């Protein structure tokens, strides 16, 4: 049966035949980030240049603004795929209503499996040459797709990154840029000084924790062929799902373009965001994330080495959140939880190429008051590069609490 209209440059609206979209990956095909993938049948009309995939969960209050900002783009050769991820509110009905009003929109419905699985389903259904993944809470400036598409066409880049505005209620918008200077990086020769420098700085710039390239997928345009070549993500991935795609994509890209003074995306900070809450499953989810990252970054050893600092960042965030949301817990319970963090994440910390560890805190750490068992847990951790974490904690709001817990009387 006839499919939706699509915009074709210089030809206006055309109706094409599309198969019914399925949120589940096919059983056979090319392995990749979305599990398995088959190329679309031949003989079909030319596909759109860009696929815009929006995962939707609890988006009934914000989705319409997001969709309107996408439909208002000055660049018209795109398709919009809304992936409703088993949302308990009216998001699913809203997606269908929006699709009924504009034939550029397709909707996929699936049981709740998280943002990573929703993006995978959208990627599987996408037909564009490149893909972007806005969040349903956010919105785009009218020229965002045109800016990204022009950047990709002019540079031949596989990944084009821009900055964004951080929008928080009651505060002025804050411009946020990538720490790596604007320009085009040629990564075809991984041994070149330029490629090596980019790989070392993509995850960690030397300032804890400031990534060279922001991990968020919503401020990047990425070639679909590159996304389909990435290793499959763990089905239980519920943390850092942006990073688990962005950095493996950078590790495999031939060229990366960081655009100058471009802030066309508006990231809405929600007080009710899951990222602001304590998750009892934080540790197993962190382990799942690092398994995905270590596999994804294997082709690029300099980037893989930076995982040490990313692991420390995840550790610090977990300790901060646990103490904040468990302020009334007994002191001994807090201490045991921190030791659980250390024990769980320590094996994830890679060592340097020669097998040695970074400079140690062991000689400066106050071990008085620790049992032999606790010292056995903490000493391997302190032989890693925890200087950054401890120095950071000394400057953060939870520093006194963490230091008092780590150093029992």
Task: Check which CATH number belongs to the domain holding 263 and give it.
Answer: 3.90.550.10
In a domain, residue 301? The reply is no
Band of residue 216 on the pLDDT scale cut at 50, 70, 90? very high
Residue 177 is encoded by which pair of tokens?
Answer: 């840029």
Instruction: Average the pLDDT over 316-337 and give the result.
Output: 74
Q: Which of 213, 245, 269 is the last residue of a domain?
A: 269
The answer to whether 355 touches 365, Cβ cutoff 8 Å, is: no
CB atoms within 10 A of CB 407: 14
C-alpha distance from residue 302 to each of 15, 68, 259, 387 (Å): 47, 41, 23, 20
Band of residue 36 on the pLDDT scale cut at 50, 70, 90? very low
Instruction: Average the pLDDT over 205-227 and give the result.
Output: 90
In a domain, residue 310? The reply is yes
Band of residue 78 on the pLDDT scale cut at 50, 70, 90? very high
Q: Give percent of the chain with pLDDT exceeding 70.
A: 68
In a domain, residue 344? The reply is yes
Note whether 262 and 310 are same-domain residues.
no
Note whether 373 and 251 are same-domain residues.
no
The answer to whether 243 touches 215, Cβ cutoff 8 Å, is: yes
pLDDT at site 322: 77
Note whether 114 and 262 are same-domain residues.
yes
DSSP E strand stretches across 224-309? 255-258, 265-269
C-alpha distance from residue 121 to each of 55, 95, 258, 362, 386 (Å): 9, 16, 27, 47, 38
In a domain, residue 293? The reply is no
By residue range, what is the domain housing residue 227?
Answer: 5-269
CA angle at 283 for the pair 219 and 237, rounded to the nearest 5° = 45
Residue 397 is encoded by which pair of tokens?
Answer: 């709001």
In a domain, residue 284? The reply is no
- Close Cβ partners of 45 (under 8 Å, ≥ 6 residues apart): 6, 8, 14, 16
Domain count within the chain: 2
DSSP E strand stretches across 71-191? 78-85, 105-110, 130-132, 139-140, 159-161, 164-168, 174-176, 183-186
In a domain, residue 297? The reply is no
Residue 93 CA to chain centroid, in angstroms? 27
pLDDT at site 340: 77
**Residue of higher predicted confidence among 31 and 345:** 345
Most confident among 21-30, 194-203, 367-376 (mean pLDDT)? 194-203
Residues 248 and 240: their CA atoms lie apart, in Å, by: 13
In a domain, residue 292? The reply is no
User: DSSP letter at 160?
Assistant: E
pLDDT at site 209: 66
Q: Per-residue pLDDT tens for 327-377?
A: 777 777 777 777 777 666 666 554 444 444 443 333 334 445 445 654 554
Note whether 399 and 353 are same-domain residues.
yes
Average pLDDT, the chain: 78
Q: Which of 217, 250, 269 is the last residue of a domain?
A: 269
- Close Cβ partners of 153 (under 8 Å, ≥ 6 residues apart): none
């Amino acid at each position: 049966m006839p499919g939706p209209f699509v915009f074709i440059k210089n030809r206006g609206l055309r109706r094409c035949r599309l198969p019914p979209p399925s949120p589940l990956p096919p059983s056979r095909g090319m392995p990749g980030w979305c599990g398995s993938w088959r190329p679309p049948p031949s003989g079909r009309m030319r596909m759109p240049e860009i696929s815009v995939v929006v995962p939707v969960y609890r988006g009934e209050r914000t989705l319409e603004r997001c969709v309107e900002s996408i439909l208002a783009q000055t660049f018209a050769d795109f398709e919009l795929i809304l992936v409703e991820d088993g949302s308990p509110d009216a998001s699913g009905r809203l997606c269908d209503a929006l699709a009924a009003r504009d034939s550029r929109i397709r909707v996929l419905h699936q049981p709740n499996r998280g943002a990573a699985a929703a993006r995978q389903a959208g990627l599987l259904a996408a037909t564009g040459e490149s893909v972007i993944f806005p969040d349903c809470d956010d919105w785009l400036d009218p020229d965002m797709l045109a800016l990204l598409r022009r950047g990709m066409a002019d540079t031949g880049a596989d990944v084009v990154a821009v900055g964004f505005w951080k929008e928080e209620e009651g505060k002025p918008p804050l411009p946020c840029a990538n720490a790596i200077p604007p320009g085009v990086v040629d990564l075809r020769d991984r041994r070149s000084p330029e490629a090596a420098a980019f790989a070392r700085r993509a995850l960690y710039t030397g300032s804890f924790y400031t990534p060279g390239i922001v991990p968020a997928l919503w401020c990047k345009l990425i070639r679909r062929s590159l996304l389909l070549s990435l290793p499959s993500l763990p089905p239980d991935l519920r943390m850092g799902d942006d990073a688990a795609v962005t950095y493996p994509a950078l590790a495999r890209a031939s060229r990366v373009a960081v655009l100058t003074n471009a802030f066309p995306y508006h990231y809405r900070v929600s007080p009710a965001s899951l990222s602001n809450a304590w998750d009892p499953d934080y540790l197993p989810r962190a382990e799942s994330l690092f398994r995905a990252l270590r596999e994804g970054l294997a082709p690029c050893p300099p980037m893989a080495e930076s995982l040490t600092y990313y692991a420390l960042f995840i550790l610090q965030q977990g300790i901060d959140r646990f103490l904040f949301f468990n302020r009334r817990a007994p002191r001994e319970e807090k201490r045991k939880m921190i030791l659980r963090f250390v024990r769980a994440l320590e094996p994830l910390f890679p060592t340097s190429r020669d097998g040695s560890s970074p400079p140690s805190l062991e000689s400066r750490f106050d071990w008085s008051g620790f049992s032999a068992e606790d010292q056995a847990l903490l000493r391997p951790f302190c032989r890693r590069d925890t200087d950054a974490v401890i120095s950071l904690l000394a400057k953060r709001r939870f520093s006194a609490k963490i230091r008092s817990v780590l150093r029992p009387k």
